[in-house]
Amino acid sequence: MLTTYISIGPAPIKDGQCTFTVWAPACSSVKVIVKTSPDHPWPMEKGEGGYWTVTIDQVTPGMEYWYQLDDNLLRPDPASHWQPTGVHGASAVPDTSFNWTDTDWQGIELVDMILYELHTGVFTEAGNFLGVISKLDHLQTLGITAIELMPIAQFPGHHNWGYDGVFPFAIHNEYGTAAHLKELVNAAHQRGIAVILDVVYNHAGPEGNYLPDFGPYFTDKYKLFWGGAVNFDGAGCDGVRNFFIQNALMWLNEFHIDGLRVDAVHAIFDSSALHFMEELTAQVRLLEQRVQRRKILIAEFDLNNPRYITPVAQGGYGMDAQWVDEFHHALHSLITGEQTGYYEDFGTMEDLARSLQDSYVYTGQYSKHRNRHFGRVPANTAYNQFIAFVQNHDQVGNRLLGDRLTATLSPEALKLAAATLMLSPHVPLLFMGEEYGEKNPFLYFTSHSDEELIATLCEGRRKEFAVFNWEGEVPNPQEEAIFNQSKISWRIDEVPGLFRFYKYLIALRKNRPALHNFRRGNAVRNIRIQNRVLQFERHGNEDVLIIYLNLGKDPEHIQFEHARTKVFDSSDVEWYGPGSLAPAVVQPEQPFLINPFSAIVFELPKVEE
C-alpha cells in the first residue's frame, strides 16, 4: 500500500489562490499555461515521486489552462475536473461550492437496494443531470432505492456509452456542471435514493487519451481488447494507482456518491502483493469511517470467482458485491429460446435453479462456450453480494439491434421475468424503462472523430456479433439516428399494468420477511423442477413463501400436501392477464393449474387466534 497519497489536479485554497499538482515523472520541466495569458507561464516545481506543483494567484472558476511539458507539448490536465470544449480542449478550474442539505444521510446497505441503471444522455429528452432529477419522483413512486449512473467521465464527441472516457475526474460537459451532479445526488438523497456511479479503471478510450505523455499509465505486459492495459504493477505504477484511488475518493467524498460500480475488474491486471482492488477497498473503508456514511463497492465481473467480494481477512479483496451475469443468461435462454453465442452454455431449468441456489451457474463444470471447466462455488458469501438483472446496458446494447425483451416477449412473459428477478435472493437491478416495457432499443452509440478508429470499431462490432448468428446489418454506432433511437420514450402504459406490477413486486420484496433473508443455505430452500415449472421456497424470520414459475407454453398441474393461501398470480386479471387458474386457498391434495409463462406465490394459511 502506498505510504503517501498525493492529491492531484486543481485545488482552490483561499483568496483566489489555487494549487495545481500533476504527476509527470519523466518530464524535465512542466508549466501551467493560463489560456488568457499564454505569454506568462507558471513554472512548476518537481517534488518526490515525479509530482509537479505550483500555486497560482487570482484564479476564478472557469479559468482555462494547459500543462506545457518540456517546453513543447501543450496538454490538458490528466486530472482535469472540467473540459468545457471536450477532450482536445483546455482544462478549466471548476466551481466547488455547493449548499448540501443531506446532512442526515448515512447511505443504504445492499440488503435494502433496488437498483435502477440509467444512461444520463438518453434517460430523458434533456439528456443531462437536470433531466434525471425530473424523473426522481417517478423512481421514488416505483420503489427504487438506488440509481446507477453509467459512466459520466468526459468522452470524445457528443454521445457515447461512457466506457471510452479519457478524463476520469471530469464530468462529460454536455451532462452538466459539477454543481448539477451534486444537485442530482442531493435531490436523490432527499427522496431516500442512493447514487451509484459506474467508473472505468481497466482502460481508457482511444481518442483524446493524452495520459502517456505524462507518465507510464499503460503497459504492454498485458493485452486487452481495448488496447494497452493500465499499469497497476509495473515500473512507475505508484503514480497510476494514486491517480485512480484519488478519482474514486473524489466521487465518494466531494460528490457524496454512495458507491462505485467498477467496470470489468477482471481486466485490471495486477500481480502485486497488494492487488489494486484491495488497496482501493482499504481507502474507501477509511473514508467511510471519516464521513460516517456507507460507501459501496460493486465489481463487474463474469469469471465466477468470489475472491473480489471475499473479506480481506479470508484472502479476498473486500469489495461489497458483484454483478452476476449468469442469472440473466439462465433466465434469458429459457424465456426466449436463444442458445447462440454465450447462451449455448444455458437453456435448461437446472441452470436457472443453480443460479437461484448458488448465484453462479458454472461452479467448476465444463463450459462449452469457453471450452474449459469454469468457475467455483461462492462459499461463505451472502446472496446480497450478488446483483442480478433480466436486462442491463450490456445485455441489451450488445445485441445486434439493441432490442429489449419487449421486442420478442409477450406481456405474460415480461411479468414472469420481473417476478423471477424480484423473488430471487439477489439484489435486483432494473434497466431504465424496463419497469413499464420500454420498446425503444438501446443501441451502441459513439461520436468519434478519427476515421480510422471508426472503421476499426465497426469491424470489431461485426466480428463480435458473428458468434450469435444474428441476421441483418450491424448498425453504425456513429450515426446520430442510432443515438436518438435509444432515447427513452416514457410511454408509461406501453405494456398495460406492467409498471403497477413492478411497483407491487418491489413493495412485496420490501415488506415480506421471507424476502429479507440473504443467508446462503437457508434463504432459498426446496428447489424442485416439474417439466417447465420451477418451484422454490423463500424463508426468513418465520415467514415462508412458496414460489412457482412456469417457463413453459402450456398450463401445468400442481398440488400441495397442505393447505396454502395465494399471495399473487402474475396471470391474474388485476395485472391484465388471462385470469388465474388457481383458487385463493388451495386445499390439501387439491390439484390446480398454473398458467403458461406465469408466476404464483403462496403462503401458509393464517392461523386464527
> Which residue in the list 207, 233, 258, 263 is annotated as catalytic?
263
Contact indicator for 297, 284 with CB cutoff of 8 Å: yes
Give the end-to-end CA distance of the chain in Å, rounded to a whole number.
61
E strands, 393-490, are: 427-431
The amino acid at 517 = N
- DSSP alpha helices (H): ranges in 64-190? 120-123, 129-133, 136-142, 178-190
The amino acid at 200 = V
Contact indicator for 23, 259 with CB cutoff of 8 Å: no
The amino acid at 42 = W
Rounded to whole angstroms, the Cα distance separating 558 from 446 reads 51
Has 300 been annotated as catalytic?
yes
Give the β-pairing of 585-586 and 564-569: antiparallel
Give the β-pairing of 543-550 and 598-603: antiparallel
> What is the signed CA dihedral for 440, 441, 446, 451, rounded to 10 degrees?
-110
Helix axes 276-291, 237-253, angle to 10 degrees: 30
Contact indicator for 553, 541 with CB cutoff of 8 Å: no
**Nine cell digits for residue 461:** 462490432
Rounded to whole angstroms, the Cα distance separating 552 from 332 reads 13
* SS3 state of residue 521: coil
Has 263 been annotated as catalytic?
yes
What DSSP element (H or E) covers 197?
strand 194-199
- Which residue, among 407, 493, 468, has the nearest Cα to 442 in the 3D structure? 407
> Which residue in the list 64, 117, 300, 434 is annotated as catalytic?
300
DSSP label of 63 = -
What DSSP element (H or E) covers 91?
strand 91-92
- Which residue, among 429, 422, 424, has the nearest Cα to 323 in the 3D structure? 429
Residues marked as catalytic: 263, 300
